[in-house]
Structure 1
Amino acid sequence: MRIRVTSLERMRALAEAVAGQLRAGDLLILTGDLGAGKTTFTQSLGAGLGVAGRITSPTFVIAREHPSTHGGPALVHVDAYRLGAAEELSDLDLDSELEESVTVVEWGEGLAEQLSADYLDLTITHPGTADADDPDSLDAGAGSADSGSAEATGDFDLDDPADDDYLVDENRTVDVVGHGPGWERRLGGLATAIRTAGFDVADAPGDDGS
């Protein structure tokens, strides 16, 4: 299905709508150019899930876990930009946390699909281009390589521009594809939740009358 997002605030609203449909064991693969808004999306996904810690692009640590503040699933945020092969992703041992967490993998296309038969692909496209050649430039406050878990002290600041990668406040298109029998059953409910949040959803399950 396809969703048109008209601003930064609407991207945040979309992510929170998606968060409301997620459960432990879910895997999301985020694809998009630099500055498309992948980390911004993940920040608001984390807000919707109610997790602790400041969510930034985890480039230097590759993976970062944000525990729930209310007994829900943790959020595991992975940046696969520097990983050259699926084997390198396997070395992170994400399987051990997958069933108990919501796992989001940025730059995971072609790498993260091996983690689960059921996963949600989200591709963010925008007409502009990022003003950076390397994701390091988007990593203000990302933390050091020796910290692989988020501190459970307070929430990230959604109003701090240094905390997001939505470099140009312009229209985005978000394409959502569910893979596996689990998401085949759940995609209709996800489309309903997104529409309830005020978005027009094209090509959703059932739109063709089936």
Structure 2
Amino acid sequence: MSAAGPEAASRRFEIVDPDAMHALGVNLGERLRAGDLLILTGPLGAGKTTLTRGIGEGLGVRGPVTSPTFVLARTHPSLVDGPPLVHVDAYRLADAEELDDLDLDFERSVVVAEWGAGLHAERDSWLDVVIERPEGRAGDGADDPDWSETLVEPRTVTITAVGPRWQTEAAW
């Protein structure tokens, strides 16, 4: 058993700019199905919302996909008869129980939870997405919540697939 949980496998991606982050999201979105949960972790300005916009495009949902910071969760219905995207900002949630209180339809939706580390307690499968970016330099956009507004620097994205759903997925 790994730190992420049972049956975990990881892949790393070097992302050079917001377009590449968006493209990674599109690629992921095209592979996702109802019931999938993605936990996004990374500092402000890392590209979590940019990735989620791409996921929304890959899923074919109604947009625009924007950060749900002030509403906690936004649902984007499918335009192509697929699952809706539920985009959650879990920053203010204390635990998985509070996530349950939002009454999200996990089984019929794709749920992307920014700041959601540790909120997968009731799930047997999920994708843990960690976005790293250079930090600590003046003017690096550390206080900007949207990567498109920050200085463009490469990111490293590590996706860890946890649980039985991802063990049978050929090309996650």
Classify the TM-score, shorter chain.
0.7 to 0.9
* 2:7 matched residue in structure 1: none
* 1:175 matched residue in structure 2: 158
Of 117, 132, 140, the match for 1:109: 117
* 2:100 matched residue in structure 1: 90
In percent, how many aligned pairs have the same letter? 51
Structure 1 outlier segments of 4+, above 2 Å:
128-131, 164-168
The CA distance in 1 between the partners of 2:63 and 2:171, in whole Å, is 29
1:41-64 CA-partner distances (Å, limit 9, x unpaired) = 001110111101221110111011
Count of equivalent residues: 157
Return the offset for 1:13: 1.0
* TM-score, normalised relative to structure 1: 0.71
Query: What amino acid sits opposite 2:133 in the alignment?
Result: H
The CA distance in 2 between the partners of 1:79 and 1:9, in whole Å, is 22
The CA distance in 1 between the partners of 2:134 and 2:76, in whole Å, is 32
Query: What amino acid sits opposite 1:125 in the alignment?
Result: E
* 2:31 matched residue in structure 1: 21
Query: What amino acid sits opposite 2:64 in the alignment?
Result: R
Matched, 1:131 2:138: no
Q: Which runs of 5+ in 2 are unaligned?
A: 1-10
RMSD: 1.4
Q: Please state which structure has a larger fraction of its residues in helix.
A: 1
Contact 1:35–1:168 (CA under 8 A) maintained in structure 2: no
* 2:77 matched residue in structure 1: 67
* 1:99 matched residue in structure 2: 107
Return the offset for 1:110: 1.2
The CA distance in 1 between the partners of 2:133 and 2:63, in whole Å, is 28
* TM-score, normalised relative to structure 2: 0.86
Q: Which runs of 5+ in 1 are unaligned?
A: 139-163, 191-210
Larger Rg over CA atoms = 1
The CA distance in 2 between the partners of 1:31 and 1:42, in whole Å, is 12
* 1:184 matched residue in structure 2: 167
Query: What amino acid sits opposite 1:127 in the alignment?
Result: P
